[in-house]
């Protein structure tokens, strides 16, 4: 049985890398477009367009979606987002509950496999010595941003469609508990299967599944094939992945559309303009996505995932975002706004987090991510050429440079000399600091611009 399991696992690897991807020898050789994958990508964007082209308000609030984010396996992260995207309530209810059903099925099947106990023990037994490793804290901090969809614009854009009196404070607490609880339960389903596969192959559990998409497309399908009526369970499993991927796609596109419409209402808030905007985004994203479905597209995908969609970028954005909320807009003002919305004042510790704890922690983890940076290796073996790493950092900087560029833009647009503007900003920051300390100092009138 062990040799058969190893053969099945090797066959899954070979099928994924050669038959499906047609993987080339390196990023320098992209090869041709895999037309099967290109058609699947086209279908995904067509579905996405017709599901969100009428917007959120026209469909009404329909419940809770689950977005599956697989990053740095063997952990699987489930994030809960309140969404209002699909035009048919029944479809959304199905896509919201179906992943739970599959998770329970995989959990029951996983814990009944031989070797599952070792995998669960490996999952639950902590290695306290790893707490002294900065890399652990860096991975944990960046994963929090992914699992809760923080600093990606999704929560902000979709939250803008809520009623003004919506209890956002309660929603945040519920999201944290639901996300953590689901991730914890999902860990049992994952590590029970990994423990079984590790026992069959005689290797450590950590080496069973490769990092990245290998967990979802190699390790788990191998486990599903061991169930009775394996063809049925395989179809249901991949159908679940399709629904989760489409839901994530809906959220990202809807967030971008909402931001553009809010920034340029005079252009896009006209009849038919929203539909054209979504169509343009879908076409552009599809054309860019064709690079990822070439025979060497997986190398580009890993670059994008490691650099452009990395925790380093999100940490950089989170530092500026929390500073803008806590120090520029003002923690007291934001605190009062929440009280006006929900009818009571949140826990006072929240204000301290906005001002000190959160920006300090994000900055520390961000610096650790730079200090501990290691170049990407595809499948822990292929080393990218120097221009490949440059391409990765260019993708990372494409989002990070927007903040300093916009700061310079505002400085140039503000009336007065640069010296006057900087002096006013400095005095306003000092005023905010003294106000927090309980002083009643104000910026002198002669310094106003």
Is residue 417 annotated as involved in ligand binding? no
Answer yes or no: is 394 a known binding residue.
no
At 376 the three-state DSSP class reads: coil
Tokens 């992260």 correspond to what residue?
77
Q: How confident is the model at residue 444 (pLDDT cuts 50, 70, 90)?
A: very low
Q: How far apart are CA 364 and CA 315, in angstroms?
A: 10
Residue 37 has pLDDT above 80, yes or no: yes
Q: How far apart are CA 5 and CA 192, in angstroms?
A: 16
Tell whether 247 is in a known binding site.
yes
Residue 368 has pLDDT above 50, yes or no: yes
Q: Is 380 annotated as a binding residue?
A: no
The pLDDT tens digits of the residues spanning 232-273 come to 877 877 887 887 788 788 888 888 888 888 888 888 888 888
- 127 is annotated as contributing to ligand binding: no
First to last CA, the chain: 79
Instruction: Check residue 89 and give its pLDDT.
Output: 42
For the chain, which residues make up each domain, given as ranges? 35-293, 414-447
**What tokens does 30 get?**
């992209």
CA distance 111 to 121: 12
pLDDT in tens, 78-103: 333 333 334 434 455 666 677 788 88
Per-residue CA distances from 376 to 87, 191, 317 (Å): 41, 25, 22
- Residue keyed to tokens 């979802």: 216
Share of the chain above pLDDT 90, in %: 9
**CA of 245: how far to CAs of 75, 148, 238, in Å?**
17, 16, 10
């Amino acid at each position: 049985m062990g040799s058969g399991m190893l053969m099945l696992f090797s066959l899954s690897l070979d099928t994924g890398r050669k038959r499906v991807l047609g993987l080339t020898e390196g990023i320098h050789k992209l090869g041709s477009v895999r037309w099967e994958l290109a058609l699947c990508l086209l279908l995904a964007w067509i579905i996405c367009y017709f599901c969100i082209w009428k917007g959120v308000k026209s469909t009404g609030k329909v419940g809770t979606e689950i977005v599956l984010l697989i990053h740095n396996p063997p952990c699987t992260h489930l994030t809960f987002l309140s969404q209002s995207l699909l035009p048919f309530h029944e479809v959304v209810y199905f896509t919201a509950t179906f992943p739970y059903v599959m998770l329970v099925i995989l959990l029951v099947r996983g814990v009944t496999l031989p070797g599952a106990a070792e995998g669960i023990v490996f999952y639950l037994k902590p290695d306290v010595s790893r707490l002294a490793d900065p890399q652990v804290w860096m991975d944990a901090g960046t994963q929090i941003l992914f699992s809760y969809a923080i600093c990606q614009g999704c929560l902000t854009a979709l939250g803008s469609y809520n009623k003004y009196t919506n209890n956002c404070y309660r929603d945040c607490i519920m999201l944290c508990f639901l996300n953590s609880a689901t991730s914890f339960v999902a860990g049992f389903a994952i590590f029970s299967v990994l423990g079984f596969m590790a026992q069959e192959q005689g290797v450590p559990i950590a080496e069973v599944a490769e990092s990245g998409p290998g967990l979802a497309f190699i390790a788990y399908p191998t486990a599903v094939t061991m169930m009775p009526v394996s063809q049925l369970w395989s179809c249901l499993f991949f159908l679940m992945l399709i629904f989760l991927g489409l839901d994530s796609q809906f959220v990202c596109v809807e967030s971008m559309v909402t931001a553009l419409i809010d920034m340029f209402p005079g252009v896009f808030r006209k009849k038919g303009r929203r539909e054209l905007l979504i169509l343009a985004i879908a076409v552009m994203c599809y054309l860019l996505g064709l690079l990822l479905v070439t025979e060497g597209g997986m190398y580009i995908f890993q670059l994008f995932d490691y650099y452009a969609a990395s925790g380093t970028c999100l940490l950089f954005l989170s530092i500026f975002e929390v500073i803008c909320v806590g120090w520029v807009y003002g923690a007291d003002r934001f605190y009062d706004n929440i009280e006006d919305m929900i009818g009571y004042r949140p826990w006072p510790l929240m204000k301290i987090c906005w001002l000190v704890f959160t920006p300090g922690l994000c900055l520390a983890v961000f610096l650790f991510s730079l200090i501990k940076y290691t170049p990407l290796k595809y499948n822990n073996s292929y080393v990218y050429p120097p221009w490949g790493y440059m391409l990765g950092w260019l993708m990372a900087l494409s989002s990070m440079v927007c903040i300093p560029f916009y700061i310079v833009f505002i400085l140039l647009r503000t009336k007065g000399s640069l010296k006057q503007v900087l002096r006013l900003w400095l005095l306003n920051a000092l005023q905010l600091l003294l106000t927090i300390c309980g002083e009643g100092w104000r910026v002198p009138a002669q310094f106003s611009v």
